[in-house]
Amino acid sequence: MQLTAKHQEYWSKNLRITGILLGIWFVVTFVMVYFAKALTFKFFGWPFSFWVAAQGALVVYCLIIWYYARYMNNLDNEYGVAEGDE
């Protein structure tokens, strides 16, 4: 089947959201850890960088995946590429 302009638009929107979420993933993981020694101010008892690596980043990962699933499932419906019910 030939791809329509609508299909192309769906795919580029997918690539855009993938890129944005990957950027957030990169910042909370690698940038945060790189500057871990500077970010040791107290955060509810934890040094901040310890808390990020032990909990904060994990929460962000969960949110990224949850948001991606929601966004893409809506996008499928919007562009008419969702699978019908079996």
CB of 13 to other proteins, least distance (A): 12
Q: Compose the 61-80 pattern: x for residues touching other proteins by CB under 8 A, - for all others.
A: xx-xxx-xx--xx--x---x
Tell whether residue 13 is a contact of other proteins (CB under 8 A). Answer: no
3-state secondary structure the chain: CCCCHHHHHHHHHHHHHHHHHHHHHHHHHHHHHHCCCCCCCEECCEEHHHHHHHHHHHHHHHHHHHHHHHHHHHHHHHCCCCCCCC
Residue numbers 15-44 binding other proteins by CB under 8 A: 18, 21-22, 25, 29-30, 33-34, 36-37, 40, 43-44
Q: Of the two residues 5 and 84, which places its CB atom closer to other proteins in the complex?
A: 84
